[in-house]
Structure 1
Amino acid sequence: MSIRPYQMGDEVAISRIYNHYILHSSATFEVEPLSAGQMQERIEKYTKSYPWLVYLLDEQIVGYCYASQYHSRDAFRHTVEPSVYVHQDFHGRGIGHALYAELLSQLAHTDCHTIISAIALPNAGSVRLHEAFGFTQVGHLAQVGHKFGQWIDLGYWQKTLN
């Protein structure tokens, strides 16, 4: 296993992982799958300021994580929103935890001060992951997303870096 920064060409595997969540999960509120090209554009935009990491197992990308700007207004410039996705066949192996640990380590060496994570609820696994890293729940919005014919709540977890 290894974790490394995104490299050109990774967007194919990344988009496959993410598209599974788009099509089969409420973990993301996106509803249309992304092409590898669309994913590459997104990655290039985010990596101008923040890390985008992939997890390799036997040279196959089985997970990824990244940070993006929390909000476009300038006063939010020290606040990021993280995301982590693990291939559906590799859940429960500590991949998300390893990715998050590396992402938080890298963010600690930037001008990032606050990390705010939005979690579609219910999602016990994601809540456990965030709380294991010291995030605390700071908000809950009821029925703000609509996907698969049902209303979805959104919880907010926050961590301040030292």
Structure 2
Amino acid sequence: MIRDVTPDDAKKIAEIYNYYIEKTIVTFEYDMVSEQTIKDRIKKVKDKNFPYFVYEQDGIVVGYAYLSNWRERAAYDITLETSVYLDHKATGNGIGSILYQELIDRARKINLHSLIGVISLPNPESRKLHRKFNFELIGNFKESGIKFGKLIDVEFWQLIL
């Protein structure tokens, strides 16, 4: 079941996201996030009236998705960045696709022009997901981040709505 996020979801979202911080290159954050940090981030997204929602299974949040500013200047307001995260134990069951489709549908409802997906490499699952929804690979920024002592490339994928 998909529903809009509430501040009460912050603890579970932090748990999901902290796995990716600690174990993967999916995010370039180094420090674990607290429940309060996630509450603040939820508020920032909701204050801008951008979509932020969760996917529940048996009453437990197992994934979430939201849109955020791709760039801060007003001219970029027609383009937002996508974020989709799943509990690492819930991957491979189609939930990511369900969340991404909902994100695209909601983006269309608020009359966005395009969406940007940002992928740190390697990440074949995310590449596959973006191709599935007809995102186009726009560019690859070589060695643009560092995590776990390794230089990491970052790809930008775009969907014109």
How does the TM-score come out when normalised to structure 2?
0.97
Is residue 147 from structure 1 mapped to residue 147 from structure 2 by the alignment? yes
Residue in structure 1 matched with residue 41 of structure 2 by the alignment: 42
- Counting helix residues as a fraction of each chain, which structure ranks higher? 2
Does the aligned pair in 1 maintain the 2:7–2:42 contact within 8 Å? no
CA distance in 1, matches of 2:133, 2:3: 20
After superposition, residues 92-107 of structure 1 pair within 5 angstroms as 92-107=92-107
Give matches, 1:1-162, under 5 Å: 2-48=1-47, 49-161=49-161
SS at match of 2:101: helix
CA shift at 1:41, angstroms? 0.3
Two-structure CA RMSD over aligned residues (Å): 0.7
The unaligned stretches of length 5 or more in structure 2 are: none
Aligned equivalents of 1:91, 1:121: Cα separation in 2: 18
Offset from partner CA, 1:94-134 (integer Å, 9 cap, x none): 01100011111111010311111110011000011011001
Question: For each residue in 1:21-45, what CA deviation from the matched residue of structure 2 results, as whole angstroms up to 9, or x when unmatched?
Answer: 0000000000101100011101110
For 1:119 and 1:40, how far apart are their aligned partners in 2? 24
Judge which range, 72-81 or 42-51, deviates more: 42-51
Q: Deviations over 1:40-71 (max 9, x none)?
A: 10111012221111000010000001000111
Take 2:111 and 2:36, find their aligned partners in 1: how far apart are those partners? 29
SS at match of 1:27: coil
CA distance in 2, matches of 1:83, 1:107: 12
SS in 1 for 2:64: strand
Q: Percent identity among equivalent residues?
A: 38
C-alpha displacement of 1:10: 0.2
Q: Distance in 2 between matches of 1:12 and 1:99?
A: 19
SS in 2 for 1:50: coil
Task: Report the TM-score, using the length of structure 1 for normalisation.
Answer: 0.97
